[in-house]
Chain A
Amino acid sequence: MENNHFHTIVIGAGPAGLTAGIYLSRAKMKTLVLDSGIAGGQLILTHEVANYPGIEKISGYALSENMRKQALKFGCEMLSGISIATIDFESTMKSLSLTNGKKFTADTIILATGGRSRTLNVANEDFFKGRGISYCATCDGDFFQDKEIAVVGGGNTALEEAVSLTKYASKVTLIHMLDHFQAFAHAQEEAMNNPKISFMMNSRITSFNGVDKLESVNIENLLTHEQTEMKLDGVFVFIGYEANTDFVQGKCIRLNDRKEIITDEKLQTNVPGVFAAGDAIDKKYRQITTAVSDGTIAALNAIEFINTRKSLQANHANSLIV
């Protein structure tokens, strides 16, 4: 059992979790990083990273591999492909068990569970994934050479990817629920100046239709509620991210109405000794750099939490001896 006790268990091995792993293990804290998939989180879904300071250009996979190896080099332990069965956040000694029967305890926990691409939640969306529906323009764009496609979303990614998809598609329709885009002005300008792109505002897709592959979508105008069918070969969905907090919902960790974890300035949750970092927390900007920053702050505060408790316990023991 002693071997299964850690100073900190980090749940999630994206940039926030791996950074926490690097800082904790370098500070000689016994650290375990757990992940339900493979290390890297959303970062490995990023084709190219060009805004990570100090690195001009790198693939998301390569950057995450560097982080993973760096954490391992400092002695951080890692388990991937795991599934958590039970977790106790509230006791002084935190504990969790995995579905494979392994049990662990820890002084502190860092929740770095990240986020996932939001889906449209429309019937048949999963069936047509890879059969006309895509979430990656660089991966699947070339399947749509001279085809008519739609891009759903109104943020920077949606508009930038719509422009990049005009390299392949004959026509791109941008479908957005609002009457305005949230993207930066330069991204909007580029999309609006592209003759292959047309816009369908105040609209949403209500169904995907086809047999083996996507053939058309039904679209509702949200102002008039009029439904129209549009023949399309593909739909690319870029409507943002949602936090991976399903496994803490209904537990003692406080979440906001978007199911993101609420933290204080130390990135500690409402439960002492439980910290959170990265895309799963309540914050405005979600970048690799902000996740890395969060991982650092959570790790340093977890170390401080452990050391403070250790010195309080030592003082208490000394006072009993006197």
Chain B
Amino acid sequence: MVLPTNLQHLATANDLTKTIQEHNHVMVCCGRMGPMCIPVYGIMEELQSEYKHVAFRDMAFDSPEAHIIRNLPECRGFMGIPFTVYYKDGKVVAATSSIQSRDQITSILDREFKG
């Protein structure tokens, strides 16, 4: 179960584990094809060329495999999609719930993935 976006998809929990092992900086947007999620995928697509040191991925929120995002302690209390999680060196360094603007996303990328 994957989303019809132009991002690289994470279909399984193992895909995510492998991705955060292989990349130091990972941003994952876990959502649906709805109005609060689509703008975030669009922003991520555009940021790929600017933030080449970050691996941008999406994951289908309704996939059972997405438990790996949905059940993160950092996502406790989240009640709005998408759940967007930022991993640095395999660890969660930031997580947001609901739609985010380009400025909100780049401020996290700049703060957490500097250099």
Interface residues of A (CB under 8 A from B): 36-38, 40, 44-47, 59-61, 80-81, 129-136, 138-140, 143-144, 212-214, 233-234
Contact = CB atoms under 8 A, between A and B. Distances in A.
Given A131-B97, A134-B98, A139-B32, A38 B39 contact: yes
Interface residues of B, number: 24
Interface centre among A81, A144, A233 (most CB of B within 10 A): A81
A139 B79 contact: no
Given A38-B46, A134-B80, 18 more contacts: A38-B102, A47-B34, A47-B35, A61-B35, A81-B102, A129-B80, A129-B98, A130-B78, A130-B80, A130-B97, A131-B97, A138-B35, A139-B32, A139-B35, A140-B36, A140-B98, A144-B79, A234-B79
Nearest to B84: A130
B79 A130 contact: yes
A136 B34 contact: yes
Contacts of A36: 102
A52 to B, nearest CB: 16
18 contacts: A37-B39, A37-B43, A38-B39, A38-B43, A44-B38, A44-B42, A45-B35, A45-B36, A47-B34, A60-B35, A129-B97, A131-B78, A131-B97, A135-B36, A139-B32, A144-B79, A212-B77, A213-B79
A95 B79 CA distance: 44
A120 B76 CA distance: 24
B71 interface: no
B2 interface: no
Interface in B46-79: 46-47, 76-79
